[in-house]
Amino acid sequence: MAEELSGLLTTGEFARRSRLSVKALRLYDRSGLLRPAEVQPGNGYRRYAEHQLYAARLIVLLRRLDMPLSQIAEILGAGGADAGELLARYWTDVERRLAAQRDLADRLVRSLAGETGAPPGDWPVATREVPAQTVLTEQRYVTSAELGWTREAAARLTAVARRHGGPAGPRFVVFHNEVSEDGDGPVEVCVPVTPGAVDPMVAATRHEPAHREAYIQVIRGHFEPPQILSVYDAARRWVRERGLLVTAPPREVYAYPADLDHGSPDDVMCDVAVPYA
């Protein structure tokens, strides 16, 4: 009767009708997301207006989408078409993140299923002299979830090289800085060409100086993270333990005919190489 006379709902009644727990209501009150319409002095009893049920029920639904409270507050404050736009933008970001996570899961499944060969840190290291080269180049800041770009860039550069006498050596991918969920490189894709064969107006080129490098062959079973990261560790450790100096960023050199997506776990996919002096 008191509720009917005041037009306000007790916390318990409001919780029941909104499908929110009393604990959640306390949290949303403290955070400012859903404050009660009235707090009685003395006893601190909280009461809610019936029109607040819409916001409370909307919060329930948005939380089912795993939306953070800060973004729920933005939607509640926007209303109408703006609120719809905020929700659409949030869900686009969720789908992008899920796609990246699905790709990571697929790669991990392939990696774990094909895991074989030497344990981490036990790969044989070889060395070679690499002559100076002119390379077609594309460079971009990408996170680990965006590394698929390297295949697209390699295809573009290889197509250019084929129109100008063909590649003059194996393509390689240079990691100029850390690439992870938070680190974005940059990463550079290079395709060697005959000097002067490609007009710089057609595609970007640069000079890759001659150098010596330590390298490890990477089989398919070690091609995906986390295994390939241990291969990089092993190559850098080989250089460091011999008192040598790393002179350029590490790279993956693709000199083998293996299909990147299909084949045997023992197929050699690339070399992980570390230039040194």
- Give me the half-sphere count of Cα atoms (radius 13 Å) on the Cβ side of residue 175: 18
In sequence order, the β-bridge partners of residue 49 are: 8
Helical spans, DSSP H, in the chain: 2-6, 11-18, 22-31, 52-64, 69-78, 80-114, 149-162, 227-241
- Residue 4 has what pLDDT? 46
Structure-block tokens of residue 137 = 């180049």
- Per-domain residue ranges of the chain: 2-89, 126-276
In CATH terms, the fold of domain 126-276 is: Multidrug-efflux Transporter 1 Regulator Bmrr; Chain A (3.20.80)
Q: Give the chain's count of helices (H) and strands (E).
A: 8, 11
What pTM, to 2 d.p., does this model score? Answer: 0.64
- List CB contacts of 181: < 8 A, sequence separation 6 or more: 143, 144, 145
- Residue 142 has what pLDDT? 92
| 3-state SS class at 116 | coil
Distance of CA 248 to the CA centre of its chain: 24
| 3-state SS class at 151 | helix
Q: Which amino acid is at 253?
A: V
Helical spans, DSSP H, in 32-133: 52-64, 69-78, 80-114
Angle between helices 69-78 and 22-31 in degrees, nearest 10? 70
In sequence order, the β-bridge partners of residue 88 are: none
| 3-state SS class at 219 | strand
The CATH class of 2-89 is mainly alpha
Q: Using one digit for the tens of pLDDT, what is the confidence trace for 27-85?
A: 999 999 999 999 988 888 899 999 999 999 999 999 999 999 999 999 999 978 899 99
Q: Using one digit for the tens of pLDDT, what is the confidence trace for 240-259?
A: 999 999 999 999 999 999 88
- Look at 120 and 88; give whichever has higher pLDDT: 88
| 3-state SS class at 217 | strand
Q: Rounded to 5 degrees, what are φ and ψ at 214?
A: -95, 135
Percent over 70 (pLDDT), the chain: 92
- List CB contacts of 194: < 8 A, sequence separation 6 or more: 134, 164, 165, 168
Structure-block tokens of residue 101 = 């996570």
